[in-house]
Amino acid sequence: MAPKDETPSDPITVAEVKEIAKTKLNQPTWDYYTTGADENRTLDRNSKIYKKLLLRPRALRNVADVDTSAYIFGKRYEIPIAIAPSAYQKLVGPGGEIDMTRASYTLGTNFTLSSNATTSLEDVMAALPPRDAKYPAPWFQLYFLRSREQTKAVIKRAEEAGYEALVLTVDTAVLGNRLGERKKPLVLPPGLSTANRASRQAGGVSKGRLLLNAKTAAEAKKVDQENGDFLVDRSLEWGEVIPWLRMQTSMKILVKGIMTAEDALEAMVAGVDGIVVSNHGGRQLDGVPSTLEMLPEIADVVKGRIPVVFDGGISTGSDVFKALALGADLCLIGRSALWGLAYDGQKGVEAVLHILERELWRTMVLSGASSISKISRSMVGIAKRDGFGVSKL
Ligand SMILES: Cc1cc2nc3c(=O)[nH]c(=O)nc-3n(C[C@H](O)[C@H](O)[C@H](O)COP(=O)(O)O)c2cc1C
Ligand SMILES: CCCCCCC(=O)C(=O)O
């Protein structure tokens, strides 16, 4: 069935939602959420690349009924679009992580809670009504701290609370060089804290930020030594960390931050259940390609064996279509969901998901794909170098 249209006064694109969000957020919060690392080359590339990819539609393929649903780990997603983990969501809207997770529930999809959330993982789970077992439970994103005890404790809490999967972020051994943040460090206002650090330390802003703002190498070393337990463990390796996680939990294990076919292979050999192709929304290593560019080589290695989850720069349903065509099984939205949260809390996030759903549905109809499995790589192409004609990928 075709998704319902908005009422005339509603924003009808994510770009419009973002404009409204800008008027609702204070400057430091807007800067924190919009920024990338260094010169923002990767951040910009992530979104611009979608415009370069052209669609190659097919006609007369019976699109009377178009089904946007997808299955990941055997669970049903009404749309192949879920919400990426992002830190400190109560800075964006008072309902924060709870509004996000409830919106994902309403749309029949899923949400990943950040290790640096401002709501406890137990409260997020308790905010959801009971759900038919055919749908997924939320996932929990893990920053693996140097303190194994702290790391173990939070994994245990996530498992006991009923999270379906653990998403180990592997692109944040140290925080990216975010220039705006270095000039104006992010400070959580009183009353907000990172509720999922096992110690629930007051103030709660990541100790990684102290390291980022150290003025000299000596100061950085001091911070590193003094705050060691709360920093991400930089000594992790595939062959050790994945088996260690397996020993701790029976939740599914995904790794987030895969940007090469080589790492996708490492991940599979190490025995993960899924990967997330991601460059952290351009906030970590600047100068890496867009995620969309790397998706085909990664999908060639893992597609059909383990789920390929994907994020980076998605702001339209046609972006989602392109990522699915290049091998994604499920797309995550980071900032687009945050603009919805700023715009109107849970309803705003739902509005964003509905916009993307409608746009994806229309792109599928007009491309001749009546289900997600009918979206193929041959349905996208790239303009030839001499500017005339389209090459298949
Ligand atoms: C403000 C902000 C905070 C983020 N916090 C986290 C986090 O805590 N953990 C994590 O794994 N990724 C985090 N990410 C990365 C997102 O999960 C996701 O990879 C990225 O936002 C996708 O790109 P998009 O924003 O262009 O959709 C964050 C992203 C943003 C923008
Ligand atoms: C220990 C690393 C803290 C990262 C904080 C949240 C995040 O991922 C971001 O991009 O900001």
10-residue mean pLDDT profile of the chain (393 residues): values are 81 98 96 96 98 98 98 98 98 98 98 97 98 98 94 97 98 94 88 76 53 78 75 95 98 99 98 98 98 98 98 99 98 99 98 98 98 98 90 92
The single residue listed with the structure tokens 């969309």 is 292
Which tens digits make up the pLDDT trace of 13-36? 999 999 999 999 999 999 999 999
**Tally of CB atoms within 10 A around 205:** 18
The pLDDT, as a whole number, for residue 207 is 63
The number of residues making up the chain comes to: 393
> Tokens 């290790």 correspond to what residue?
115
**3-class DSSP state of 304:** coil
Verify whether ligand 1 is closer than 6 Å to residue 85 (CB atom).
yes
Ligand 2 centroid to residue 111 C-alpha, Å: 17
Tokens of 267: 């991940």
Q: Ligand 1 pocket test: which of 35, 86, 206, 338 has the largest number of ligand atoms within 8 Å of its C-beta?
A: 86
Q: What is the pLDDT of residue 198?
A: 53
d(CA 391, CA 393): 6
How far the first Cα of the chain sits from its last, in Å, is 31
What pLDDT shows up at residue 200?
46
Which atom in ligand 1 lies closest to the alpha carbon of residue 256?
A: 11
Active site residue 354: no
Element (H, E) at 14: helix 14-24
**Ligand 1 lined by 86 (C-beta under 6 Å):** yes
pLDDT of residue 206: 61
* pLDDT per residue as tens digits for the range 62-82: 999 999 999 999 999 999 999
The per-residue pLDDT for 266 is 98
The pLDDT, as a whole number, for residue 217 is: 83
Helix orientation angle between 27-34 and 335-367, rounded to the nearest 10 degrees: 50
For residues 201 and 192, what is the distance between their CA atoms, to the nearest angstrom? 11
Q: Which atom of ligand 2 is closest in space to residue 209's alpha carbon?
A: 3
Contact 317, 362 (CB under 8 A): yes
Query: Across 33-138, where does the E strand assignment appear?
Result: 53-55, 70-72, 75-77, 81-83, 112-113
Q: Which sign does the torsion angle of CA 169, 186, 337, 18 carry?
A: negative
Question: Residue 243 and residue 236: Cα distance in Å, rounded?
Answer: 12
Q: Is 33 in the pocket of ligand 1 (CB under 6 A)?
A: yes
pLDDT at 223: 76
Q: Alpha helix locations (H) across 207-332?
A: 208-212, 217-226, 238-248, 261-270, 291-302, 317-325
144 lines ligand 1 (CB under 6 A): no
Give the Cα-Cα-Cα angle 180, 118, 245 (nearest 5 degrees): 100
Other Cβ atoms within 10 Å of 130 Cβ, number: 5
pLDDT reported for residue 210: 66
- Here the tokens at position 171 are 């692109």
Question: For position 208, what pLDDT does the model report?
Answer: 66
Q: Is 46 in the pocket of ligand 1 (CB under 6 A)?
A: yes
Handedness of CA 391, 54, 303, 155 (dihedral sign): positive
Q: Which protein residue has the closest C-alpha to ligand 1 atom 13?
A: 86
Q: How many CA atoms lie within 13 A of 101 on its CB side?
A: 29
The candidate with the shortest Cα–Cα distance to 282, out of 29, 16, 22, 47, is: 47
**Distance, CA of 225 to CA of 203 (rounded, Å):** 20
Buried b (16+ CB within 10 A) or exposed e, 62-79: ebeebebebbbeebebbb
Beta-bridge partners for 55: 380
Query: Given 197, 280, 283, 322, which residue is catalytic?
Result: 280
Measured CA to CA in angstroms, residue 78 lies from 67, 110, 131, 204, 273 at distances of 8, 10, 14, 35, 21
- State how far the Cα of 84 lies from the Cα of 312, in Å rounded to an integer: 10
Instruction: Report residue 293 CA to chain centroid gap.
Output: 17
CA distances, 24 to each of 18, 33, 183, 339 (Å): 10, 13, 23, 10
**HSE-up of residue 297 (Cα within 13 Å, Cβ side):** 11
In the block, tokens 């109560």 appear at 90
